[in-house]
Chain A
C-alpha cells in the first residue's frame, strides 16, 4: 500500500530469462513464462506459512493445550501424525494440497475445503462490491482532480484520497454503523441478510452463495432488497479504502497524458475539454490502473478480513479471525493458502491483460 502513486513493476525485475534476449519471444512465450511463475510463488508462500506456523509447535497443542491432560494430548498428536519429522509432514501436506485435501479443522471438525467454498463466496461478493465502489468513486473523481489541477476541487479531492487511505476500514465501518444504522436507522447494523431471507436463499437449488445473485435467481424481490441493504455499508467501507488509491492514480496519469502533444493537437482542433479528459487523456492512463488493480486485490482481501470482522459478514476474513482466536492453525493455514492462490492467479491475469493492452510490457 505504500505505492500510492507509482505502480510497482509486477514482474520480478530481471527475473524473466527472456528479458536479456528481448529480440525473440512474443505474447505466447510471455504468457507461458508468467503462467509458470505462478507455481513458485504459491509454493514459496505455502512453504513459508507451513514452516512458520510449525515453529510455534504442533496445531493440536496450540488449539487444545491446557484443556486436555498431557497423555491425551500426546495421544492425539501421535494419531494426527504431528510427532513425525517436519519434512515428512511438509511433503505429505504438499501432496494433500495437490489433491485438493486441506485437512480438517480442529475447532469445529469441518473439512477445510468445504469451509473455504462456503465462506469464499461471501468474501467474493464483498470484494466485488467493494471494487465496484472503488472504481465508480475513484475514476470519475480522479479525472475531475486532474482537470482542475492545483485548484480548489483538486485540493479537496486529494485530501479526500489521503483520508480514504488513512482511515482504517474498521474505523470507517464503525462510523458508518453509528451514523446510518444506529442514529439514522436506515441500514442494518451487521450481517449479510436477515435470518428469514438467509434461510430462503440457502434453501435454493445449488445456491451460489453470492446472495444477490441467488436472490435474483429466486425472483424474491424482498430478499434482494434486504441483501442489498446489508451490502451497502461493508462495500462502502472497504471500497473507499481503495477508491482513494484509484483517484490518485487516475489523477497522476491523466495529468501526465494531458501534457502530451496529441492532447494539445486535439485541443487545437476544437475538441471539448470534457472529451479531452474523458477520452483522449483517460484511455492511455488506464494501463497503470489495471496493473495496480491486481495489487489492490491483495489489499482488498487484507481489508476484507477487517471489514468482515467489523460487520460480522460471515466470509473468509470473519472465519479467519474466529479461527485465529481459537488457535485453529489448520484452518488458518487453509485460508491463507487459498488467499495466496487467489493473489497469484489475479496477478497473472492482470499481467496478461496489461500485456494485451500495451505491447511494451511484453519482454
Chain B
C-alpha cells in the first residue's frame, strides 16, 4: 500500500460543511462513468444497510424458524407461494435467512473494522514515532502476517477464540476478531509510513521545541494528519471483511445456523443441493454477498480514483479531441493540481 500517492481531498474553505463531507465532496467532483459507479455503489450499500437495520420488519420469518401456525415448512421447496425464495433442506426460509444475514454481516464488519482501526492506528503511531527495535520487530511481525493468506490467519484465530462454534454474539465477536487480526497489519503499515513522513515535518519539530509531550504530539499533531486515508481503507476492508466472514462460514467456522443467519454457511449447505439442480438455496445468499461487496468496493474505488488526480475522469478532454470541452478539461486539470498539492 504505497502512501506516496496524493490522497488529499480537495476542500474548498468557502464551501459549506455539507459539501465538504467525504462522500458528498467526492460526488460533486465526479463526472460521467465515475459518478455512475459511485452512485451505484452508494445505492447498493444503502440497500444493504437498510436491509440489516430493518431485518425484523422485512423478513417474513425468523432465521431459525422451521414452522409457523400452519405447521412445518416443507424442505427444498422451489421459490414461490409462501416462501418467496424457496426453502432449504432443513426447512429454513431462504429469503428470511438472506435478510437476517445482512444484519450479521453488518455487526461483524463494524466490530472488526473498528477494532482493527483502533489497534492498528495506535501500533502504527507508536511504532513509527518511537522507531528503533520496537519498530523493527513490529514491522517484521506485521509483514509476516500480511504476507500470509488472510483466510488461514482467520481460521487459526477462529480456532483459538471459539474452537470454531459459538452463539450469536460469541460467534460474531470470534469472526470479528479473526478478521481484525488480518487487517491490523494493513492499518499499521499505512499509519506507520505516514507517521514516519510526518515526524520530520516542521510542525512536529516546533511542537517538540515548545515542550509538548510525546503522547500529545502523537495524539494531536500526527494522528490528525496521518488518518486521511482511513475512509478509503475502511470501505475496501469492509468488503474484504464480508468475504472473509463468508469464507469462514463456508468452511464451517462461522456462526451456528440457530444463533444467526450467515451467507457463507448457507452456501456451504447449498453445495450439496446443486447436483440435484436445486439452485435457490445457493444463488440467493451468493448474490447477496456479491452485491454487497460490489457496492462497498464501488464506493471505495470511486473515492480512491477521485482522490487521485491521475485516475480521476477529466470530462471529455481526456479523449484528446480538444474542442469546446477542453476548457472544462483544463479546469479539471487545474483542480487536480490544486487538490494534489
Residue ranges of A at the interface with B (Cβ–Cβ < 8 Å): 1-9, 12-15, 40-41, 44-45, 48-49, 52-53, 55-56, 62, 149-151, 154-155, 158, 162-163, 165-168, 170-171, 174-175, 177-178, 181-183, 189, 252, 255-256, 295, 298-299, 301-303, 305-306, 309-310, 320-321, 324-325, 327, 329, 332, 336, 339-340, 343-344, 347
Contacts and interface: CB of A to CB of B under 8 A. Distances in A.
Contact of A298 (B139, B149, B157): B149
The 9 closest A-B pairs by CB, nearest first: A302-B149, A171-B286, A166-B293, A302-B151, A44-B144, A166-B294, A2-B236, A8-B1, A174-B282
Contacts of A298: 147-150
Interface string B288-308: 011001100110010010000
A278 to B, nearest CB: 20
B31 to A, nearest CB: 10
Given A14-B135, A150-B32, A305-B151, A168 B233 contact: no
B3 to A, nearest CB: 9
B144 A177 contact: no
Contacts of B37: 158
Contacts of A165: 293, 297
Contact of B147 (A41, A158, A170, A181): A41
B277 A1 contact: no
Given A162-B298, A324-B155, A183 B277 contact: yes
Interface in B264-303: 264, 267-268, 270-271, 274-275, 277, 279, 282-283, 286, 289-290, 293-294, 297-298, 301
A321 to B, nearest CB: 5
Interface of B: 1-2, 5, 32-33, 37, 135-136, 139-141, 143-152, 155-157, 159-160, 163-164, 186, 189, 192-193, 196, 233, 236-237, 239-240, 243, 246-247, 250-253, 264, 267-268, 270-271, 274-275, 277, 279, 282-283, 286, 289-290, 293-294, 297-298, 301, 304, 310-311, 313, 318-319
Contacts of A332: 159
A15 B160 contact: no
Nearest to A5: B304
19 contacts: A6-B2, A12-B139, A14-B135, A40-B140, A41-B147, A45-B145, A56-B163, A150-B32, A158-B37, A168-B250, A171-B267, A178-B282, A181-B274, A298-B148, A306-B250, A321-B252, A324-B252, A339-B149, A343-B148
A15 B294 contact: no
Contacts of A309: 250-251
Contact of A252 (B139, B189, B311): B311
B256 to A, nearest CB: 14
A46 B33 CA distance: 47
B283 A175 contact: yes
B136 A15 contact: yes
Contacts of B150: 1, 298, 302
Interface of B is mostly: helix
A295 B243 CA distance: 18
B251 A174 contact: no
B246 A44 contact: no
Given A52-B157, A329-B159, A306 B251 contact: yes
Contacts of B294: 162-163, 166
B139 A14 contact: yes
A351 to B, nearest CB: 11
A56 B279 CA distance: 38
A182 B240 CA distance: 30
B201 to A, nearest CB: 17
Contacts of A52: 156-157, 159-160
Contact of A41 (B140, B155, B243, B301): B140
A15 B139 contact: yes
Given A151-B319, A162-B301, A170-B264, 17 more contacts: A4-B301, A14-B135, A41-B144, A45-B148, A53-B160, A150-B32, A150-B33, A158-B37, A162-B297, A170-B250, A171-B290, A182-B275, A295-B147, A298-B149, A301-B152, A306-B151, A324-B252
Contacts of B297: 4, 162, 165-166
Contacts of A303: 151
